[in-house]
Copies of this chain bind each other. A is one copy, B any other.
Amino acid sequence: MAVSARDVARMAGVSVSTVSRTLARPDQVAPETRDKVVAAARALGYRANPAARSLITGQTGTLGLVVPDLENPYFTSVTKGVQKRAQAAGYALLVADSDEHSGQEAELVRNMASRVDGTVLCSPRASDDVIAGLAQEFRLVLVNRRVGDIPAITVDNADGVRQALHHLRALGHGRVAYVGGPRDSWSHGERLAAFRSIGAELDLDLVELGNFRPYVSGGVAAADILIASGATAVLAYNDLLALGLLERLRQRGVRVPEDLSVVGVDNVPVAALTSPALTSVEVPRMESGRAAVDLLLAEVREGVHTAGATQDLSVQLVVRGSTGTPAAAGGAAVRHPAGVVTT
Protein backbone atom coordinates (compact mmCIF):
# COMPACT_ATOMS: atom_id res chain seq x y z
CA MET A 1 0.00 0.00 0.00
CA ALA A 2 1.04 3.54 -0.63
CA VAL A 3 1.93 5.94 2.13
CA SER A 4 -1.14 7.36 3.87
CA ALA A 5 -1.84 10.48 5.84
CA ARG A 6 -1.45 8.43 8.98
CA ASP A 7 2.14 7.65 8.14
CA VAL A 8 2.85 11.30 7.62
CA ALA A 9 1.08 12.17 10.86
CA ARG A 10 3.05 9.63 12.81
CA MET A 11 6.34 10.82 11.36
CA ALA A 12 5.54 14.46 11.99
CA GLY A 13 4.19 13.72 15.44
CA VAL A 14 0.78 15.24 14.76
CA SER A 15 -2.72 13.99 14.09
CA VAL A 16 -4.15 12.99 10.75
CA SER A 17 -6.42 15.97 10.70
CA THR A 18 -3.47 18.29 11.00
CA VAL A 19 -1.89 16.66 8.00
CA SER A 20 -5.04 17.12 6.01
CA ARG A 21 -5.39 20.71 7.16
CA THR A 22 -1.79 21.53 6.37
CA LEU A 23 -2.25 20.45 2.79
CA ALA A 24 -5.63 22.05 2.31
CA ARG A 25 -5.30 25.31 4.25
CA PRO A 26 -1.64 25.84 5.24
CA ASP A 27 -2.40 29.25 6.72
CA GLN A 28 -4.57 27.78 9.41
CA VAL A 29 -1.68 25.86 10.85
CA ALA A 30 1.26 26.99 12.96
CA PRO A 31 4.35 27.59 10.81
CA GLU A 32 6.49 25.09 12.65
CA THR A 33 3.85 22.41 12.59
CA ARG A 34 3.41 23.06 8.94
CA ASP A 35 7.10 22.66 8.27
CA LYS A 36 7.23 19.37 10.12
CA VAL A 37 4.25 18.03 8.20
CA VAL A 38 5.50 19.23 4.85
CA ALA A 39 8.91 17.73 5.54
CA ALA A 40 7.44 14.38 6.53
CA ALA A 41 5.11 14.38 3.54
CA ARG A 42 7.96 15.08 1.18
CA ALA A 43 10.24 12.55 2.82
CA LEU A 44 7.64 9.83 2.46
CA GLY A 45 6.50 10.93 -0.97
CA TYR A 46 2.97 11.31 0.30
CA ARG A 47 0.13 11.80 -2.15
CA ALA A 48 -3.43 12.00 -0.90
CA ASN A 49 -5.58 9.12 -2.09
CA PRO A 50 -8.00 10.70 -4.55
CA ALA A 51 -10.61 8.01 -4.00
CA ALA A 52 -10.80 8.72 -0.29
CA ARG A 53 -10.93 12.42 -0.96
CA SER A 54 -13.65 12.07 -3.56
CA LEU A 55 -15.70 10.05 -1.20
CA ILE A 56 -15.96 12.92 1.20
CA THR A 57 -15.72 15.98 -1.02
CA GLY A 58 -17.83 14.65 -3.84
CA GLN A 59 -15.24 15.96 -6.29
CA THR A 60 -13.04 13.74 -8.39
CA GLY A 61 -10.46 16.10 -9.82
CA THR A 62 -11.11 14.49 -13.16
CA LEU A 63 -12.88 15.66 -16.30
CA GLY A 64 -14.32 13.56 -19.09
CA LEU A 65 -14.27 13.85 -22.85
CA VAL A 66 -16.35 11.95 -25.38
CA VAL A 67 -15.55 12.31 -29.09
CA PRO A 68 -16.88 10.51 -32.17
CA ASP A 69 -13.48 9.41 -33.46
CA LEU A 70 -10.07 9.94 -31.94
CA GLU A 71 -8.38 9.26 -35.26
CA ASN A 72 -10.07 12.14 -36.99
CA PRO A 73 -7.42 14.87 -36.84
CA TYR A 74 -10.04 17.43 -35.96
CA PHE A 75 -11.04 15.60 -32.80
CA THR A 76 -7.43 14.85 -32.07
CA SER A 77 -6.79 18.56 -31.82
CA VAL A 78 -9.84 19.20 -29.69
CA THR A 79 -8.68 16.40 -27.42
CA LYS A 80 -5.25 17.91 -27.16
CA GLY A 81 -6.76 21.28 -26.26
CA VAL A 82 -8.99 19.74 -23.63
CA GLN A 83 -6.14 17.71 -22.21
CA LYS A 84 -3.77 20.65 -21.95
CA ARG A 85 -6.26 22.87 -20.25
CA ALA A 86 -7.41 20.19 -17.86
CA GLN A 87 -3.84 19.37 -16.99
CA ALA A 88 -3.03 23.03 -16.44
CA ALA A 89 -5.95 23.29 -14.05
CA GLY A 90 -4.78 20.24 -12.14
CA TYR A 91 -7.42 17.91 -13.50
CA ALA A 92 -6.95 14.48 -15.00
CA LEU A 93 -8.76 13.62 -18.24
CA LEU A 94 -10.85 10.59 -19.05
CA VAL A 95 -11.26 10.01 -22.78
CA ALA A 96 -13.78 7.89 -24.64
CA ASP A 97 -14.42 7.38 -28.33
CA SER A 98 -17.88 6.56 -29.65
CA ASP A 99 -16.66 5.41 -33.05
CA GLU A 100 -19.13 7.70 -34.76
CA HIS A 101 -21.90 5.64 -33.23
CA SER A 102 -24.57 7.92 -31.83
CA GLY A 103 -26.08 5.18 -29.70
CA GLN A 104 -22.94 4.83 -27.66
CA GLU A 105 -22.55 8.42 -26.62
CA ALA A 106 -25.05 8.45 -23.80
CA GLU A 107 -23.69 5.22 -22.46
CA LEU A 108 -20.14 6.52 -22.47
CA VAL A 109 -21.16 9.68 -20.68
CA ARG A 110 -23.06 7.66 -18.09
CA ASN A 111 -20.13 5.33 -17.60
CA MET A 112 -17.72 8.06 -16.82
CA ALA A 113 -20.16 10.26 -14.97
CA SER A 114 -19.38 8.90 -11.54
CA ARG A 115 -15.65 9.29 -12.13
CA VAL A 116 -15.64 12.89 -13.26
CA ASP A 117 -16.73 16.34 -12.17
CA GLY A 118 -18.04 17.11 -15.61
CA THR A 119 -17.89 15.96 -19.21
CA VAL A 120 -17.14 17.59 -22.53
CA LEU A 121 -19.32 16.03 -25.16
CA CYS A 122 -17.82 16.82 -28.54
CA SER A 123 -19.83 16.79 -31.76
CA PRO A 124 -22.43 14.37 -30.43
CA ARG A 125 -24.59 12.60 -32.97
CA ALA A 126 -27.30 11.71 -30.46
CA SER A 127 -30.72 13.35 -30.50
CA ASP A 128 -31.55 16.56 -28.68
CA ASP A 129 -33.73 14.65 -26.25
CA VAL A 130 -31.02 12.25 -25.28
CA ILE A 131 -28.53 15.06 -24.79
CA ALA A 132 -30.97 17.18 -22.82
CA GLY A 133 -31.61 14.20 -20.58
CA LEU A 134 -27.92 13.69 -20.05
CA ALA A 135 -27.38 17.34 -19.22
CA GLN A 136 -30.11 17.19 -16.64
CA GLU A 137 -28.41 14.33 -14.89
CA PHE A 138 -24.77 15.30 -15.28
CA ARG A 139 -22.61 18.35 -15.66
CA LEU A 140 -22.07 18.68 -19.40
CA VAL A 141 -20.50 21.07 -21.85
CA LEU A 142 -21.19 20.60 -25.54
CA VAL A 143 -18.80 21.28 -28.38
CA ASN A 144 -20.19 21.75 -31.89
CA ARG A 145 -23.74 21.36 -30.78
CA ARG A 146 -26.51 23.50 -29.40
CA VAL A 147 -29.26 21.94 -27.35
CA GLY A 148 -31.47 24.24 -25.34
CA ASP A 149 -29.31 26.34 -23.09
CA ILE A 150 -26.76 23.69 -22.25
CA PRO A 151 -23.37 25.39 -22.07
CA ALA A 152 -21.68 24.98 -25.41
CA ILE A 153 -18.74 25.94 -27.55
CA THR A 154 -19.51 26.24 -31.21
CA VAL A 155 -17.87 27.77 -34.23
CA ASP A 156 -19.48 30.15 -36.65
CA ASN A 157 -20.37 27.61 -39.29
CA ALA A 158 -22.50 30.00 -41.29
CA ASP A 159 -19.67 32.47 -41.54
CA GLY A 160 -17.28 29.77 -42.67
CA VAL A 161 -19.62 28.72 -45.44
CA ARG A 162 -20.18 32.35 -46.30
CA GLN A 163 -16.44 32.95 -46.67
CA ALA A 164 -16.05 29.84 -48.78
CA LEU A 165 -18.93 30.60 -51.10
CA HIS A 166 -18.01 34.25 -51.51
CA HIS A 167 -14.51 33.12 -52.33
CA LEU A 168 -15.69 30.66 -54.93
CA ARG A 169 -18.11 33.18 -56.33
CA ALA A 170 -15.35 35.78 -56.56
CA LEU A 171 -13.31 33.27 -58.53
CA GLY A 172 -16.14 33.09 -60.99
CA HIS A 173 -17.75 29.80 -60.10
CA GLY A 174 -21.43 29.49 -60.87
CA ARG A 175 -22.31 25.92 -60.06
CA VAL A 176 -21.18 24.79 -56.63
CA ALA A 177 -21.70 21.46 -54.89
CA TYR A 178 -21.82 20.51 -51.23
CA VAL A 179 -20.62 17.11 -50.06
CA GLY A 180 -22.47 16.52 -46.82
CA GLY A 181 -21.29 14.89 -43.61
CA PRO A 182 -23.20 12.64 -41.22
CA ARG A 183 -26.92 13.27 -41.19
CA ASP A 184 -26.86 13.42 -37.40
CA SER A 185 -24.09 15.96 -37.25
CA TRP A 186 -25.27 19.33 -36.05
CA SER A 187 -22.37 21.02 -37.81
CA HIS A 188 -23.41 19.38 -41.03
CA GLY A 189 -26.90 20.75 -40.58
CA GLU A 190 -25.59 24.23 -39.95
CA ARG A 191 -23.29 24.10 -42.94
CA LEU A 192 -25.94 22.75 -45.23
CA ALA A 193 -28.42 25.41 -44.18
CA ALA A 194 -25.83 28.12 -44.73
CA PHE A 195 -24.90 26.61 -48.08
CA ARG A 196 -28.50 26.90 -49.16
CA SER A 197 -29.22 30.36 -47.90
CA ILE A 198 -25.95 32.01 -48.76
CA GLY A 199 -25.74 30.18 -52.06
CA ALA A 200 -29.16 31.54 -52.93
CA GLU A 201 -28.16 35.04 -51.90
CA LEU A 202 -25.18 34.83 -54.21
CA ASP A 203 -27.34 33.52 -56.99
CA LEU A 204 -25.25 30.38 -57.20
CA ASP A 205 -26.38 27.23 -58.90
CA LEU A 206 -26.34 24.78 -55.99
CA VAL A 207 -26.12 21.03 -55.94
CA GLU A 208 -26.29 18.89 -52.82
CA LEU A 209 -24.49 15.61 -53.11
CA GLY A 210 -25.90 13.85 -50.08
CA ASN A 211 -24.50 12.53 -46.83
CA PHE A 212 -21.16 10.80 -46.50
CA ARG A 213 -19.19 9.33 -43.67
CA PRO A 214 -16.68 11.92 -42.53
CA TYR A 215 -13.62 9.96 -43.60
CA VAL A 216 -11.36 10.07 -46.62
CA SER A 217 -13.26 7.12 -47.99
CA GLY A 218 -16.43 9.18 -47.92
CA GLY A 219 -14.82 11.74 -50.18
CA VAL A 220 -13.63 9.03 -52.52
CA ALA A 221 -17.19 7.77 -52.69
CA ALA A 222 -18.58 11.22 -53.39
CA ALA A 223 -16.12 12.20 -56.09
CA ASP A 224 -17.70 10.46 -59.03
CA ILE A 225 -21.09 11.85 -58.20
CA LEU A 226 -19.47 15.23 -57.96
CA ILE A 227 -17.91 14.92 -61.38
CA ALA A 228 -21.22 13.92 -62.86
CA SER A 229 -22.94 16.87 -61.26
CA GLY A 230 -21.29 19.37 -63.55
CA ALA A 231 -20.26 21.62 -60.67
CA THR A 232 -17.02 23.54 -61.08
CA ALA A 233 -16.46 23.94 -57.38
CA VAL A 234 -17.24 21.96 -54.28
CA LEU A 235 -17.45 22.61 -50.57
CA ALA A 236 -16.98 19.55 -48.42
CA TYR A 237 -18.35 19.07 -44.92
CA ASN A 238 -14.82 18.59 -43.64
CA ASP A 239 -11.24 18.20 -44.78
CA LEU A 240 -11.19 14.44 -44.64
CA LEU A 241 -13.98 14.35 -47.17
CA ALA A 242 -12.23 17.00 -49.24
CA LEU A 243 -9.03 14.98 -49.18
CA GLY A 244 -10.91 11.92 -50.39
CA LEU A 245 -12.35 14.03 -53.18
CA LEU A 246 -8.87 15.20 -54.17
CA GLU A 247 -7.62 11.65 -54.23
CA ARG A 248 -10.35 10.30 -56.43
CA LEU A 249 -10.39 13.32 -58.70
CA ARG A 250 -6.73 12.75 -59.41
CA GLN A 251 -7.46 9.14 -60.26
CA ARG A 252 -10.21 10.22 -62.58
CA GLY A 253 -7.95 12.73 -64.28
CA VAL A 254 -9.90 15.74 -63.14
CA ARG A 255 -7.43 18.53 -62.51
CA VAL A 256 -7.69 20.56 -59.33
CA PRO A 257 -8.01 23.50 -59.37
CA GLU A 258 -8.07 23.87 -63.14
CA ASP A 259 -11.18 21.78 -63.72
CA LEU A 260 -12.65 21.80 -60.27
CA SER A 261 -12.11 23.82 -57.12
CA VAL A 262 -12.24 22.15 -53.74
CA VAL A 263 -12.78 23.72 -50.34
CA GLY A 264 -12.80 21.83 -47.06
CA VAL A 265 -13.55 22.73 -43.48
CA ASP A 266 -11.38 22.42 -40.35
CA ASN A 267 -7.99 23.15 -41.86
CA VAL A 268 -6.47 20.06 -40.32
CA PRO A 269 -2.66 19.99 -40.58
CA VAL A 270 -2.60 17.54 -43.46
CA ALA A 271 -4.61 19.95 -45.61
CA ALA A 272 -1.40 21.86 -46.20
CA LEU A 273 0.48 18.79 -47.36
CA THR A 274 -1.39 17.59 -50.39
CA SER A 275 -0.65 18.91 -53.81
CA PRO A 276 -2.37 21.02 -54.61
CA ALA A 277 -2.72 22.04 -50.99
CA LEU A 278 -6.30 22.17 -49.80
CA THR A 279 -8.15 25.42 -49.31
CA SER A 280 -10.06 25.12 -46.09
CA VAL A 281 -12.07 27.00 -43.52
CA GLU A 282 -9.92 27.09 -40.45
CA VAL A 283 -11.77 26.45 -37.23
CA PRO A 284 -10.12 26.89 -33.84
CA ARG A 285 -9.66 23.26 -32.93
CA MET A 286 -7.58 23.29 -29.79
CA GLU A 287 -9.20 26.50 -28.73
CA SER A 288 -12.61 24.83 -28.77
CA GLY A 289 -11.26 22.24 -26.39
CA ARG A 290 -9.73 24.79 -24.08
CA ALA A 291 -12.84 26.93 -24.04
CA ALA A 292 -14.97 23.91 -23.23
CA VAL A 293 -12.82 23.09 -20.23
CA ASP A 294 -13.02 26.67 -19.04
CA LEU A 295 -16.78 26.52 -19.18
CA LEU A 296 -16.84 23.24 -17.35
CA LEU A 297 -14.50 24.39 -14.62
CA ALA A 298 -16.45 27.57 -14.12
CA GLU A 299 -19.48 25.44 -13.34
CA VAL A 300 -17.63 22.96 -11.23
CA ARG A 301 -16.07 25.66 -9.13
CA GLU A 302 -19.07 27.81 -8.72
CA GLY A 303 -21.25 24.80 -8.27
CA VAL A 304 -23.85 26.58 -10.33
CA HIS A 305 -25.28 25.73 -13.64
CA THR A 306 -24.20 28.77 -15.59
CA ALA A 307 -27.14 28.22 -17.85
CA GLY A 308 -26.66 29.47 -21.35
CA ALA A 309 -22.98 30.21 -20.96
CA THR A 310 -21.84 29.58 -24.48
CA GLN A 311 -19.30 30.81 -26.95
CA ASP A 312 -19.34 30.97 -30.71
CA LEU A 313 -15.79 31.02 -32.04
CA SER A 314 -14.92 32.68 -35.30
CA VAL A 315 -13.44 30.98 -38.31
CA GLN A 316 -11.26 32.00 -41.23
CA LEU A 317 -10.88 30.73 -44.75
CA VAL A 318 -7.33 29.67 -45.59
CA VAL A 319 -6.77 29.88 -49.31
CA ARG A 320 -4.29 27.50 -50.84
CA GLY A 321 -3.73 25.84 -54.16
CA SER A 322 -6.90 23.90 -54.55
CA THR A 323 -9.18 26.71 -55.51
CA GLY A 324 -8.87 28.57 -58.74
CA THR A 325 -10.77 30.17 -61.55
CA PRO A 326 -12.88 27.68 -63.48
CA ALA A 327 -11.30 26.66 -66.75
CA ALA A 328 -12.94 26.10 -70.07
CA ALA A 329 -13.03 22.32 -69.54
CA GLY A 330 -16.31 21.41 -67.93
CA GLY A 331 -16.24 24.84 -66.41
CA ALA A 332 -18.87 27.50 -66.38
CA ALA A 333 -17.61 30.73 -67.81
CA VAL A 334 -17.09 33.61 -65.43
CA ARG A 335 -20.57 35.01 -65.29
CA HIS A 336 -19.96 37.69 -62.72
CA PRO A 337 -16.76 39.59 -62.38
CA ALA A 338 -14.95 38.91 -59.15
CA GLY A 339 -15.62 41.66 -56.70
CA VAL A 340 -16.99 40.17 -53.57
CA VAL A 341 -15.06 40.91 -50.46
CA THR A 342 -14.46 37.75 -48.48
CA THR A 343 -13.74 39.50 -45.19
* Cα-based distance from A94 to B82 in the complex (angstroms): 12
| CB within 8 Å for A71 and B60 given contacts A55-B49, A216-B273, A275-B250 | no
B contact residues around A97 at 8 Å (CB): 80, 83-84, 87
A92 touches B111 (CB 8 A): yes
Within the complex, the shortest CB–CB distance from A224 to chain B, in Å, comes to 18
State how many residues of chain A have any CB contact under 8 Å with chain B: 45
Which of B1, B77, B93 lies in contact with A71, CB distance below 8 A? B77
B77 touches A87 (CB 8 A): no
* Cα-based distance from A60 to B60 in the complex (angstroms): 12
A83 touches B95 (CB 8 A): yes
B62 touches A70 (CB 8 A): no
B contact residues around A274 at 8 Å (CB): 273-275
B contact residues around A47 at 8 Å (CB): 110, 113-114
Interface 0/1 of A9-26, CB less than 8 Å to B: 000000000000000000
A273 touches B270 (CB 8 A): yes
A114 touches B73 (CB 8 A): no
Interface residues of A in 39-84 (CB under 8 A from B): 47-52, 54-55, 58, 60, 62, 70-71, 73, 76-77, 79-80, 83-84
B275 touches A275 (CB 8 A): yes
Within the complex, the shortest CB–CB distance from A49 to chain B, in Å, comes to 6
B contact residues around A51 at 8 Å (CB): 50-52, 54-55, 60, 114
13 A-B Cβ contacts within 8 A?
A47-B114, A50-B115, A70-B76, A71-B269, A87-B97, A92-B94, A94-B95, A246-B273, A270-B270, A273-B273, A274-B274, A274-B275, A275-B275
Residues of A in contact with B (beta carbons under 8 Å apart):
1-2, 47-52, 54-55, 58, 60, 62, 70-71, 73, 76-77, 79-80, 83-84, 87, 92-97, 110-115, 216, 243, 246-247, 250, 269-270, 273-275
